[in-house]
Amino acid sequence: MVKPQIISEIPISMCEVKFKLDIIKTRDGELNFRSTRTNDYLNQVGCILDSKKAEELKKKIEGLEIPRLKPEHLIKIIDILPVTEDHLKMILSGYILTISQANIKKIVELIKEFAPN
Q: Quick one: 57 exposed, middle or buried, by C-beta within 10 A (0-12, 13-18, 19+)?
A: buried
Whole-number percent of the chain with pLDDT over 70: 99
Q: Please say whether the beta carbons of 64 and 110 come within 8 A.
A: yes
Domain ranges (residues) in the chain: 14-45, 51-114
Buried b (16+ CB within 10 A) or exposed e, 3-18: eeeeeeeeebbbbbbb
Q: Residue 1 pLDDT > 80, yes or no?
A: no
Q: What is the pLDDT of residues 17-50, one digit of tens each?
A: 998 999 999 999 999 999 999 999 998 987 888 8
CB 115 within 8 A of CB 83: yes
pTM for the whole structure: 0.81
